[in-house]
């Protein structure tokens, strides 16, 4: 819970990573194409992957626990999933480009 609320060390979120391509090749590709995720909430990290951090407000979470209705507290997670869905075609394009690069 501390990570989800970013109250301690670390953070939680969603990571776009893959195991199809070599780590070095994938990292170079992501660095070269990082501009494709400018204006999004994804962060290029050293995994290499694109990371979408998610934070649940601890006060909202506590209030939701008291009311036994977590829908309000889970809004950041739902919004992150919607954001991922909107960007899914970009991820598909990147994967296809990597496949083509490997084939050439």
Per-residue pLDDT of the chain (104 residues; tens, 9 = 90+): 888 888 888 899 999 988 889 999 999 999 999 999 999 999 999 889 999 999 999 999 999 999 999 999 999 999 999 999 999 999 999 999 999 988 88
- Give the C-alpha separation, 25 to 27, whole Å: 6
94: which 2 tokens? Answer: 């990147």
- Burial category of 30 from C-beta neighbours within 10 Å (exposed 0-12, middle 13-18, buried 19 and up): buried
Q: With contact defined as beta carbons under 8 Å apart, do 55 and 76 qualify?
A: yes
User: Which helix (H) or strand (E) is 30 found in, with range?
Assistant: helix 23-32
């Amino acid at each position: 819970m501390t990570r989800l609320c970013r109250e301690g060390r670390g953070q939680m979120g969603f990571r776009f990573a893959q195991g199809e391509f070599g780590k070095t090749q994938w990292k170079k590709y992501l660095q070269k194409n990082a501009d494709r995720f400018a204006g999004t909430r994804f962060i290029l990290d050293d995994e290499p992957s694109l990371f979408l951090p998610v934070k649940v407000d601890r006060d909202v979470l506590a209030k939701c626990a008291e009311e036994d209705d977590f829908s309000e507290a889970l809004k950041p997670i739902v919004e992150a999933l919607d954001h991922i869905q909107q960007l899914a075609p970009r991820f598909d394009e990147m994967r296809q480009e990597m496949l083509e690069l490997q084939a050439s």
